[in-house]
Chain A
Amino acid sequence: AAGVIQSPRHLIKEKRETATLKCYPIPRHDTVYWYQQGPGQDPQFLISFYEKMQSDKGSIPDRFSAQQFSDYHSELNMSSLELGDSALYFCASSSRLAGGQDTQYFGPGTRLTVL
């Protein structure tokens, strides 16, 4: 079965640079979520989109922005990168056709290292 695809898998950036992470949800999934997992920590919710509109917002810094496109893929844009942004960034997708009982399926993550 098709899974959530994230690219790139690894990314190394310098401080103050920008980064763009991409997420391709499972086919026919209409909702995308972004999570950040710092070293040794649990995943923290950043933001989610449903049908290309932002639906929930978590602890996403103002330096970050995200959007969902017409083909349902999503991009997380990160600017003015800081050392503390080094983390594993997960994308998850789900389908609201499940009537609110949807399960989030996670991608393999993008490991961002800021030097």
Chain B
Amino acid sequence: AQSVAQPEDQVNVAEGNPLTVKCTYSVSGNPYLFWYVQYPNRGLQFLLKYITGDNLVKGSYGFEAEFNKSQTSFHLKKPSALVSDSALYFCAVRVSGGRALTFGSGTRLQVQP
């Protein structure tokens, strides 16, 4: 079975400061890891994914994530937060050969002006 943990329900950061949203995973096999963002009353927007290769993955809107196999983590980062980044962020995992995504419980990011 595969699972994802997002230990923080909410992350607060001031505009212009760096942000980190944490994600750890548990799978048997090689993980495919994803980050999605959800704005109020909107669908899930794809941000970035790790499949293989470089551990640092760059995605949309200046976001990046670092895959750490030994710590089974895939934390989302951004060097300088914007107020418009305020939203609900979901980490998701699937194994190679599988199709269904398993999501974490989500982390609400609040960026204060």
Does A33 interact with chain B (Cβ within 8 Å)? Answer: yes
| CB-CB nearest in chain B for A58 | B100
Are A106 and B45 interface neighbours, CB within 8 A? yes
A42 touches B103 (CB 8 A): yes
A101 to B104 CA separation, bound complex (whole angstroms):
20
State whether A90 touches B102 (Cβ < 8 A).
no
User: Total number of A-B contacts with CB less than 8 angstroms?
Assistant: 52
Q: Nearest CB to that of A9 among chain B residues?
A: B41
**Which residues 45-79 of A have a CB within 8 angstroms of B?**
45, 48, 50, 55-56, 58
Is A106 a contact of B100 with CB atoms below 8 Å?
Answer: no
> Which residues in window 88-106 of A have CB below 8 A to B?
90, 92, 100-101, 103-106
- Interface of chain B, helix or strand or loop or mixed? loop
- Give A residues with C-beta under 8 Å from B: 4, 31, 33, 35, 41-45, 48, 50, 55-56, 58, 90, 92, 100-101, 103-109
Between A and B, 23 residue pairs with Cβ closer than 8 Å are A4-B43, A31-B99, A33-B100, A35-B101, A42-B90, A42-B104, A42-B105, A43-B44, A43-B101, A45-B100, A45-B101, A48-B99, A50-B99, A55-B99, A58-B100, A90-B44, A101-B51, A103-B46, A104-B46, A106-B46, A107-B43, A108-B42, A109-B42
Residues in chain B within 8 A of chain A (CB atoms): 32, 34, 36, 42-46, 49, 51, 90, 96-106
